[in-house]
Structure 1
Amino acid sequence: MTKNQRLVYIALLAAQAAIIGLIERSIPSPFFFAPGAKLGLSNIITCMALYTLSVKDASKVVLVRLILAALLGGTLSTFIYSASGALLSFLGMLLIKKMSFLSISLIGVSVTGAVLHNIGQLVIASWIAQTWTVMLYLPVLSSIGILTGFAIGIAANYLLTHVDQLHYYMYLKSN
């Protein structure tokens, strides 16, 4: 992949993640019993970035997505919560992915990311509220995170298979 192709791919992934995030914000939460819980559909793109790009480039996708989402429809507080969750999630997903001796699938990486995203946001909420009682919400969010992380992992795994086939086809066509 040339430098220009890589930059376009990073930009496309970041734009897709930002648009998916904006669309998801406009959809009412299916988790009526858990205020603030979301499906985390833009994490499909984060998984794609982790498995198709270098760590440096994947982190660019996450950073640009956060900035775009904040500029297009967020506030400073939503940016802080999103950034804390995304940073912890990304680092945890990267760590689990790098532990190749554990043979954890993309689905396991996605579940890790979903749970850590919730932890990151609750830590910031605890810090802002200046009480750790906010963390009592963690079991509820973690349960939802496990379910949504599993579903996101399945979707990302499906897309990754097809993107790899597309890369192979593009390689054959260019040679």
Structure 2
Amino acid sequence: MSRLRKIIFIALLVAQGVIIGLIENMIPYPFAFAPGAKLGLANLITIIALFTMPKRESFMLIWMRLILTTLLGGTISTFLYSMSGALLSYGGMLLVKQLGPKRVSIIGISATGGFMHNVGQLVTASWIAQSWTVMLYLPILSFLGILSGIAIGISANYLLQRVDTLRRFQTEYEEQTHVSWKT
């Protein structure tokens, strides 16, 4: 794969992630019993990146998406919450992905990301509030994060199977890593 083609692919994924994130920020919170809970639709791009490019490039994609989304419609506090959630989620997904395709699916990896994202955000909220009582939201947000992660994992799995460009990038990445996630 040429360097230019790889850069274009990363730029397109970043742009898609930013647009999805900005659109999601315009949607009112759907869960009245858990203020601030969102679906995390932009994480679809993170899952796709995990299965189509090396760790270094997917990590760079996450940072570019975080920074651009904050510059276009966020604040320092939203950046802190998004960053902590995204980084813990990314790390958790990488760890679970190491189990391999025989032990865990893309959907399971995504559910892990949904859970870990909420943990990261609640730890940041606890730090800002200087109180661990914020962690009482964890059971509710964990349930919602896992459900959202499952839905995003199903969507990512569908896209990786049906979109030719994504399938080609995934095939090239799998040839480099010698691990196939195709079902």
TM-score tier by shorter-chain length is over 0.9
| Residues paired across the two proteins, number | 170
Q: Counterparts of 1:2 and 1:167 in 2: how far apart (Å)?
A: 17
**Residues 168 and 87 from structure 1, CA distance in 2 versus in 1: closer, same or farther, beyond 3 angstroms?**
closer
**Residues 27 and 152 from structure 1, CA distance in 2 versus in 1: closer, same or farther, beyond 3 angstroms?**
same
TM-score normalised by L of structure 2: 0.88
Q: Counterparts of 1:52 and 1:136 in 2: how far apart (Å)?
A: 36
**1:25-44 deviations in whole A, cap 9, x for unaligned?**
00112212211000000011
Cα offset, 1:162, TM superposition: 2.1
Cα offset, 1:142, TM superposition: 0.3
TM-score normalised by L of structure 1: 0.92
Dislocated runs of 4+, deviation >4 Å = 164-169
Partner of 2:64, secondary structure, is: helix
**Residues 97 and 160 from structure 1, CA distance in 2 versus in 1: closer, same or farther, beyond 3 angstroms?**
same
Q: Counterparts of 2:168 and 2:128 in 1: how far apart (Å)?
A: 48
Matches of residues 46-57 of structure 1 in structure 2 within 5 Å?
A: 46-57=46-57
Partner of 1:104, secondary structure, is: coil
Partner of residue 62, structure 1: 62
**Residues 99 and 66 from structure 1, CA distance in 2 versus in 1: closer, same or farther, beyond 3 angstroms?**
same
Relative to total residues, which structure has the larger helix share, 1 or 2?
1
Q: Identify which range, 98-107 or 64-73, moves more after superposition.
A: 98-107
Partner of residue 88, structure 2: 88
Point out where structure 1 has 5 or more consecutive residues left out of the alignment.
none
Partner of 2:163, secondary structure, is: helix
Point out where structure 2 has 5 or more consecutive residues left out of the alignment.
172-183
Q: Counterparts of 1:131 and 1:167 in 2: how far apart (Å)?
A: 46
